[in-house]
Structure 1
Amino acid sequence: MTKFFENIQKRLKEIGWASWQTFIALSVFSVIVAGMTHSPVQTIIANFGWLFLLIGVWWFTYDSTVKKRLTFNGLFTGPWIVGAIVCLWLFGSWNGAPTPASFISWPPVSALIWSVPRFIKTDPDKKTPTYTVPTPAARQDIVLMLLSNLVISCWFQLHFLLQDWLVAYPSIRSDDFGRSAFVVALNPQSQPDIKGIDLLDAAEQSLKTRLEGKPWGDVERWLSPEQLNQEIPKLAADAHTKMPLLSESNLWDLRGRVLPDTQYTLELQAIWQGPSAKTEGYYITKACQITQGRKAGPPADFEVSSSAGSTTRSRAIGTVKCEAPSQPLPIPPQTPT
């Protein structure tokens, strides 16, 4: 153990005070001290630790030997290493984890760091920085580097924007991204999470509450065209209250109609009004068969039928049976109502 500490002491003596190793050591020491303190002192010490780390890494990457190893096809990648530390420091979370802002700002910040040596040179005699004006060719390189990194930053921004959309509007996943140049379905076989199906299921429950077991005369009045136009908005409002609270909940419109050439087949339609790969959008349907049933009831609401001398009292009631939701369908030129 004594020999181990002697080797460490020997290596520390070989390191000069004016070196990148000193700043890295100061950064590690700042982290240790910050862990023993509390805010706001902890924040101040932690910022000094980031500053020491930035200076140490910058110094290390611009060392002639390291710089040669970090150069690929004539491009020195050191500025992007330094830029990553700057972005983590300025835009990262408190525990140093990267955030969307860190990724988005990383390319342009790194391009600016790459451009600094084009404006500031070191005087070999005085060992002091001298400010220079880049040549026209160097200015062109700077502009191209900034623009190319801004494009990369836009791609990062697009990535996080799409991720936010998929969280806020999970129904977007049901779209076909086969022709997309920047969206890839990692698991196309999985069932898409379409919230319109939840809306139709909630509407089915509300419909059964309104019509199941009710007198058949009331059911027929409810399904009449005039009454149906008033009841569907109430049904939609009730179904929306049972939906999970998501940004896309208000982008689903519920409509209903009695299909022609049927006695009472009510077609519920969940129409997507949010962003979609299809210009016209799409909708999902669920058909509910509303038929007449029989149930024993009080004398005020019964029919009498005799068989073999026996008398049966029953009343006509409504029964509701709904099918499974359809697949997403494109909206025709005239939206179904």
Structure 2
Amino acid sequence: MLKFFTTFYNGFLDRVKSLLGSFDPPNSFSWQTLIMLSLFSVFMAWLATGLMRDLLAHFGCIFLILGVYWGTTANKALRIGDVPLSPWITGAITSIYIFRAFVGELSPKALIAWPLISAVIAALPPCLDENFKPKIPPKEKRQNLALLLTSQLILSCWFQFYFVVQNWLIEYPTLLTDNFRQSAFVVQMPTLEVVNIPQVKILPRGISILDLTASKLKDELNDKPWSDVERVLLPKKREELLRKITNQVKEEMKQEIASAQIQIKEDEFWQVEYKNISMRGSGYNLELQALWQGPRSQSEPYSITKSCQITPVNEQIGEESFQISEVKCNPATGWGVGESFAATQ
């Protein structure tokens, strides 16, 4: 056992010495010197305070960027074919430094800017002479530079497009219910099936809006004297009631979003309509319809319908019998619940 630990300890020391030896500057003018200056600046920044700390930290990052670019450029093994990886490695560090130091956070913009920063770094050597003065690149390199810049611009646009789509899915979760089969850019990834764990079906937010609307309708009309309910269901009173319920639903949905601290913006694109009330037996039938007017794959708005029945029931209290109202609502049907369909105009 002692021999094992001795061998392990010696091997660990050899690896540490080998690692430190790779950073041992062969002379004062080398990339290893810049890395050492970077580490020294960071250490001194850790000891300093105020403006001096920030200044030393900036110098440490600049020395690191220059040292990494020099070292990776000198390493001929860091290539894919004839393309050196040095500009992209340096560009990644530069992008992180810029957005950390000047923007204050490492946001998705750092990834979006990374290809463009890398392209600029890769294009600098042909555009600078030995004295670091600007020059016109040779003719044989101009085509490659144009291809480099345009390809990195396209890559940056694709990164931007990815984050735009992800933000849409956060702000408009109903988009997850839509069909992307016709899209040339967006692919909906299938959900992984886990044994004994049922898959969660993603439903449009309009269903929650209709459920809350139906709940408010029950609070207003359920267990009320039938004669009062019939008066409320007259056209003028009905419009006032439905307007009141709509405002209550909007306010509660806003409070739900605020309490959950999420950025959902799609509620304003849900339009709730109340179809004309119709007689059904001895009672009434009221259809609630939510129309999705937001981003969608079809030109027509999608609709979800919820049907509520308002009927009289006999209530017996002692020897006295009278009628009260009972409100029952069916589950929502339509887009995203069963088979998707567009609203008929």
Aligned residue number for residue 308 of structure 2: 288
Q: Following TM superposition, where does structure 1 have runs of at least 4 consecutive aligned residues deviating by more than 6 angstroms?
A: 93-97
Question: TM (normalized to structure 2)?
Answer: 0.80
- The alignment's C-alpha RMSD in Å is 3.0
Match of 1:324 among 320, 331, 334: 331
Aligned residue number for residue 308 of structure 1: none
Aligned residue number for residue 194 of structure 2: none
Aligned residue number for residue 134 of structure 1: 137
Quote how far apart the aligned CAs of 1:254 are. Answer: 1.4
Aligned residue number for residue 31 of structure 1: 42
Quote how far apart the aligned CAs of 1:132 are. Answer: 3.1
Q: Any gaps of 5 or more consecutive residues in structure 1?
A: 123-127, 298-310
| 1:48-87 → structure 2 map (5 Å cutoff) | 48-63=59-74, 66=75, 68-87=76-95
Q: Which has the larger radius of gyration?
A: 1
Q: How many residues align?
A: 312
User: Does structure 1 retain, via aligned residues, the 8 Å contact 2:95–2:114?
Assistant: yes
Q: 1:13 to 1:191 in 2, by over 3 A?
A: closer
State the AA in 1 paired with 2:293: Q
Aligned residue number for residue 4 of structure 2: none
SS in 2 for 1:242: helix
Encode CA deviations 1:160-217: one digit per residue, 9 max, x unaligned. Answer: 1111111111111111122323333334454115221221121111101110011112
| 1:138-217 → structure 2 map (5 Å cutoff) | 138-188=141-191, 190-217=200-227
Q: Which deviates the most, 225-234 or 97-106? A: 225-234
Distance 2:101 2:19 in 1: 35
Distance 1:318 1:32 in 2: 77
Encode CA deviations 1:248-307: one digit per residue, 9 max, x unaligned. Answer: 22222211124656341211112222211222121211111111112246xxxxxxxxxx
The answer to whether structure 1 residue 254 and structure 2 residue 307 are counterparts is no
* % same residue: 35
User: Does structure 2 retain, via aligned residues, the 8 Å contact 1:270–1:283?
Assistant: yes
Distance 2:175 2:285 in 1: 29
User: Does structure 2 retain, via aligned residues, the 8 Å contact 1:236–1:255?
Assistant: no
The answer to whether structure 1 residue 240 and structure 2 residue 250 are counterparts is yes
Q: Any gaps of 5 or more consecutive residues in structure 2?
A: 1-8, 192-198, 258-263
Aligned residue number for residue 230 of structure 1: 240
Structure with the higher helix share, 1 or 2? 2
User: Does structure 2 retain, via aligned residues, the 8 Å contact 1:288–1:320?
Assistant: yes
Q: 1:210 to 1:129 in 2, by over 3 A?
A: closer
Q: 1:186 to 1:94 in 2, by over 3 A?
A: farther
